Amino acid sequence: MSTQTQPGVLVVDDKENMRKLFSRILGDAYSVTEAADGEQAMSLLASRDFDVVVTDIQMPGADGFAVLREVKRRAPDTEVILVTAFASIPKAVEAIKEGAYDYLSKPFDPDEVALVVARALEKRRQGREAAGLKARLASAPELHGLLGGSAAMHALHGLLSQVAARDLTVLLTGETGTGKELAARAVHKESPRAAKPFVAVNCGALPAELVESELFGHAKGAFTGATVAKPGLFEEAHGGTLFLDEIGDLPLPVQVKLNRALQEKEVRRVGTTVPVKVDVRVVAATHRDLSAEVAAGRFREDLYYRLNVVTVRLPALRERREDVPLLAMHFLSGSGRSEVESFTAEALRALASYDWPGNVRQLENAVARAVAVARGTRITPEDLPPEVATSRGVTSGATAPGVRATAESLAKLPYREAVDGARDTVSREYLTALMQEFSGNVTHAAERAGMERESLHRLLKRYGVRSEDFKRSE
C-alpha cells in the first residue's frame, strides 16, 4: 500500500530509541513521521496535517502539553495520545480533560499501542463522518419541514410548490407516517392563502355523532348540550386552508354534505337552514385506496372525483433510504441530549436497511428511544429497537446474549468496516463477560485484563458497559 493512502501519525519524543520503537510498531499500517522535540513537532504541524499525534509528556523545551495545545489549535479533530511514565499518570489524565484522546504508560505493550492508535483513528473518522452528516443536514433541501435530498423528495418539493400556487383541491395519498400533514402545511404556506388560517382535523378521530357539527358548526339548541351557537371548522378556516386528514374514515351521510359544501362553497350549521358562504381551500389526505373504497361502497364516487383534482403521493421511507441518515440526525439534533452526538456507522447501516413500515413517524420514535437509552456519545445498534437493530444481520445486544454479526452479513461490507464492526462487537462482549465474572469490580477486572484501572474505566465508558449493572445486591 502506498504511504500516500495511509493515515499519518506524528511521533514526538526526545529519545531516538522510543521514536524508532513506535515507527516499528506502526510503520506497516501508517505513514509515520518522527519529531525529536516539541519545537520540531510544532514546525511539522504548521506545514502538514496528521491523523494522530503520539507525544511524550516529559521533553525539554516544549513538552507534550504544548504539543497537545498546538494540535488542538490547528486541527481540533486530530487525536493526540500521550506517552508517560507511571508516576506522571495524573498529568496524563489532566491532559485528557484538555482534549487528548488517551495515554500510554511506560512500559507499554506493542499490541496496546496499535490498538489505541487504531481506536483514535476510528474516533477521528467517525467524528468527520458525523460532521459531514451535520453539514449535509444543514444544506439538505427542505420544504416547511419536509426534509430530504433524494430524487423522490426533490420531485415532491417541486410538485407541492407547483400545486400550491393554484387554488385547487388537493388529495394527498401515502402510507401512515409519511408526512401528509407536513405536506398539507407546505401547500398552505406556499400558497397565496399563507397569511390566513390553516385548520387541521383528523376525520378518523371524530366521534360519528359529532362529525357534522365539528365540520359545519351548529345552532343554539340544535341538540342536547348545544347551549350556544358554534361555527364549524369550515368557517374557522375561512380564507385559508382546511386539512381533512384520513378523509376515508368519514361516515357516508357526512360525505354527502361535504360534497355539497365543496360544490356550493357554503355550509349549513346543524339545526339551521341558513347557508353560510365560505372561502376555503380543502387539502384531504388518506392512507386508504379511495378508488377501492368507492368500488366497495364505502366512499362516495362523486366526492372522490371532487377531491381528486390534484393527487400527490408521498413516498414511503423505504423508497428513499438515502434520506434516512439525514432524518435520523435531524431527530437526534432536536432530542435535547447534547451529549449524544451522532450514530455509529453500524447503527446508520441498520437504520438504512430497515423497511420502516411506520415510515418517518416510526423513525422519529426509534431515534427518541435510542437517545433515551444511549450510554455513550454515539448511538449504537444496541440502542435501537430490536426489530431495527436486527436488520441486515446486525444483532441487538438487548435481545441476544452473544452479540455477533454473521459471516454472511460481514461479507457484504467493505473490509475496514467489517473489521471495525467485529472489533467493536468482540470488545463489548469481552468487557461484558469481564464485568460479569468480577461482579462489576473494576480493580480485579483490570488485573485480569492486564491493564491499568483507569484504562479499563475508559474502555467501559467507550463501549457503554456499566460496571454498576453487574454489582451483586447485598
pLDDT tens for each residue of 380-432: 999 999 899 876 544 433 333 333 444 545 555 555 556 656 666 777 778 88
CATH number at residue 76: 3.40.50.2300
* Cell output for 38: 516539541
Q: Which of 359, 369, 365 is nearest to 320 (CA)?
A: 359
288 & 165 share domain:
yes
Domain boundary among the residues 300, 315, 330 is at: 315
Per-residue pLDDT reduced to its tens digit, 258-289: 999 999 999 999 888 889 999 999 999 999 99
- What residues make up the domain containing 104? 3-138
Report yes or no on 200 lying in a domain. Answer: yes
369 & 397 share domain:
yes
Domain boundary among the residues 76, 109, 138 is at: 138
In angstroms, rounded to a whole number, what is the distance separating the alpha carbons of residues 85 and 382?
37
In angstroms, rounded to a whole number, what is the distance separating the alpha carbons of residues 284 and 170?
6
Report yes or no on 302 lying in a domain. Answer: yes
CATH number at residue 435: 1.10.8.60
Measure Cα distances from 66 to 56, 80, 82, 113 in Å: 11, 12, 12, 22
In angstroms, rounded to a whole number, what is the distance separating the alpha carbons of residues 141 and 129?
19
| pLDDT at residue 229 in the model | 86
Report yes or no on 301 lying in a domain. Answer: yes
332 & 463 share domain:
yes
* Cell output for 125: 473518522
CATH number at residue 207: 3.40.50.300
For 142-179, where are the alpha helices, taking DSSP H only?
Answer: 151-164
Question: The pTM is what?
Answer: 0.65
> Which residues, 6 or more positions from 233, have their beta carbon under 8 angstroms from its beta carbon?
199, 201, 214, 215, 242
Say if residue 198's pLDDT is above 90: yes
Q: Which of 38, 39, 33, 36 is nearest to 16 (CA)?
A: 36
Read off the pLDDT of each residue in 161-187 and give the average, rounded to a whole number: 96
121 & 170 share domain:
no
Report yes or no on 143 lying in a domain. Answer: no
Read off the pLDDT of each residue in 21-46 and give the average, rounded to a whole number: 93
Report yes or no on 144 lying in a domain. Answer: no
Least confident of 52-66, 144-158, 213-227: 213-227
